């Protein structure tokens, strides 16, 4: 291994993110930051420049895994911007400290936004969920902690069925759960009081990029008069959209949609598997963050406050 190559720990984390063994925007961010700390601890470069080059290379490897959740580059940027010092030991300490600080903030932000989201829920409410979002769950769990009785209708969320994880975690929190197939969502909207989803990225115009199926759910919720909120800590804000960039939607393998036997039996068709979609701001009632709730159209104000006019690549040299 040359000094610039990622350590095994970075390669393992990158592999786990790409295969979705580690998944969910906030969890990916925490894992990527921890991998940078492991890289900082695990190398013995002969100069401060070599240390920095090695951390930047690790950041690139981690970034190349999945394209949509901006929490990943935001995490890398947070840590690398604090990579400061004239000697290797100082640089190492600063990176490790920045990672600890980042992970603390991640946990605190989720707790804080959970309380905000919980205030939107009333005692006796039934909520509908899509996919598995730790930010969305934080809102429901905080409502339960406030003493509210909450029930949930959980969409299974094909093709990877992350709804099963949501169902299990809500059951553990004492929330009665009804699991439904995705196509039953509109029927069950008549029985719910609120839809709560997470986000992988939020664009400057207030568009919410989340697990595919969110936009259809939001349109149906609006048609049924059911309020829908996105729970998203501010590391989900996508700074590059401030300067006109769009968010890349990850296309995943067709093997998640159809197994080999069925594929062979059907023959010559094409299969597509986009992992995310964009919900236009007009179909979302609120974005709930650790800084309070925002109408989607006003999220750009918070974005400018936190990121200025945009952001460079995480590995850009200062």
Ligand X SMILES: O=P(O)(O)OC[C@H]1O[C@H](OP(=O)(O)O)[C@H](O)[C@@H]1O
Which of 24, 163, 206, 213: binder of ligand X (CB under 6 A)?
24
Which of 112, 125, 135, 240: binder of ligand X (CB under 6 A)?
135
Q: Is 112 in the site for ligand X (CB under 6 A)?
A: no
Residue number with the shortest CB distance to ligand X?
Answer: 198
User: What is the closest distance, in whole angstroms, from the C-beta atom of residue 26 to ligand X in the complex?
Assistant: 3
Return the number of the residue (55 or 196) whose C-beta is nearest ligand X.
196
Q: Is 279 in the site for ligand X (CB under 6 A)?
A: no
Which of 7, 10, 13, 25: binder of ligand X (CB under 6 A)?
25
Q: How far apart are CA 111 and CA 247, in angstroms?
A: 27
Sheet of 276-279: strands edge to edge? 201-202, 208-211, 276-279
Count the helix, strand and coil residues of the chain and give each as a percent rounded to the nearest 5: 50, 15, 35
Which of 211, 213, 296, 307: binder of ligand X (CB under 6 A)?
211
Return the number of the residue (54 or 214) whose C-beta is nearest ligand X.
214
For the annotated catalytic residues, the residue numbers are 131, 200
The stretch among 114-122, 134-142, 177-185, 187-195 that binds ligand X (CB under 6 A) is: 134-142
Return the number of the residue (198 or 296) whose C-beta is nearest ligand X.
198
The stretch among 40-48, 84-92, 128-136, 177-185 that binds ligand X (CB under 6 A) is: 128-136
* Residue in the block written with tokens 């709930």: 288
Where helices occur in the chain by DSSP H, the ranges are 8-18, 25-42, 48-63, 71-81, 88-119, 134-145, 163-172, 185-189, 214-224, 260-266, 299-307
Q: How far apart are CA 48 and CA 59, in angstroms?
A: 17
User: What is the closest distance, in whole angstroms, from the C-beta atom of residue 107 to ligand X in the complex?
Assistant: 12
- Crossing angle for the helix pair 25-42 and 8-18, to the nearest 10 degrees: 170
Which of 210, 234, 279, 289: binder of ligand X (CB under 6 A)?
210
Please state whether 130 falls in left (phi above 0), alpha (psi between -120 and 50) or beta: beta
User: What is the closest distance, in whole angstroms, from the C-beta atom of residue 116 to ligand X in the complex?
Assistant: 14
> In the stretch 247-276, what mask flags binding to ligand X with x, by CB under 6 A?
----------------------------x-
Contact set for ligand X, span 38-97 (CB under 6 A): none
Q: Is 285 in the site for ligand X (CB under 6 A)?
A: no
Q: How far apart are CA 221 and CA 104, in angstroms?
A: 35
User: What is the closest distance, in whole angstroms, from the C-beta atom of residue 265 to ligand X in the complex?
Assistant: 28
Two tokens, residue 70: 């901006």
Residues whose CB is less than 8 angstroms from the CB of residue 172 and which lie 6 or more positions away in sequence, other chains included? none
Query: Cis link prior to 166 (omega < 30° from 0)?
Result: no
Q: How far apart are CA 14 and CA 243, in angstroms?
A: 28
Judged by the rule CB under 6 A, the positions of this chain that interact with ligand X are 23-27, 131, 133-136, 162, 198, 200, 210-211, 275
Question: Which parts are annotated binding residues for substrate?
Answer: 23-26, 66, 210-211, 236
């Amino acid at each position: 291994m040359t000094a610039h190559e990622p350590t095994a720990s970075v390669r393992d984390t990158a592999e786990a993110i790409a295969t979705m063994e580690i998944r969910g925007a906030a969890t990916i961010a925490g894992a990527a930051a921890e991998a940078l700390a492991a890289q900082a601890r695990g190398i013995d470069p002969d100069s401060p420049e070599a240390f920095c080059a090695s951390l930047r290379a690790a950041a690139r490897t981690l970034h190349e895994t999945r394209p949509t959740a901006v929490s990943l580059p935001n995490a890398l940027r947070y840590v690398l911007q604090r990579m400061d010092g004239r000697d290797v030991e100082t640089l190492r300490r600063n990176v490790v400290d920045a990672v600890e600080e980042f992970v603390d903030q991640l946990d605190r932000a989720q707790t804080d936004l959970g309380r905000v989201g919980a205030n939107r829920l009333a005692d006796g409410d039934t909520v509908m969920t899509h996919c598995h979002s730790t930010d969305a769950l934080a809102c429901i769990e905080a409502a339960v902690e406030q003493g509210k009785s909450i029930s949930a209708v959980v969409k299974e969320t094909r093709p990877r069925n992350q709804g099963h994880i949501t169902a299990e975690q809500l059951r553990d929190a004492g929330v009665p759960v009804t699991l439904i197939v995705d196509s039953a969502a509109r029927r069950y909207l008549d029985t719910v009081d609120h839809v709560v989803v997470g986000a992988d990225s939020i664009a400057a115009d207030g568009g919410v990029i989340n697990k595919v199926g969110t936009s259809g759910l939001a349109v149906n919720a609006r048609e049924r008069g059911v309020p829908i909120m996105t729970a998203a800590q501010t590391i989900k804000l996508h700074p590059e959209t401030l300067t006109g960039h769009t968010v890349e939607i990850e296309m995943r393998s067709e093997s998640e949609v159809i197994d080999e036997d069925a594929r062979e039996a059907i023959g010559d068709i094409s299969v597509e598997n986009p992992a995310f979609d964009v919900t236009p701001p007009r179909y979302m009632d609120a974005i709930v963050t650790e800084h309070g709730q925002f109408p989607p159209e006003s999220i750009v104000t918070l974005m400018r406050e936190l990121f200025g006019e945009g952001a460079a690549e995480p590995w850009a040299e200062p």
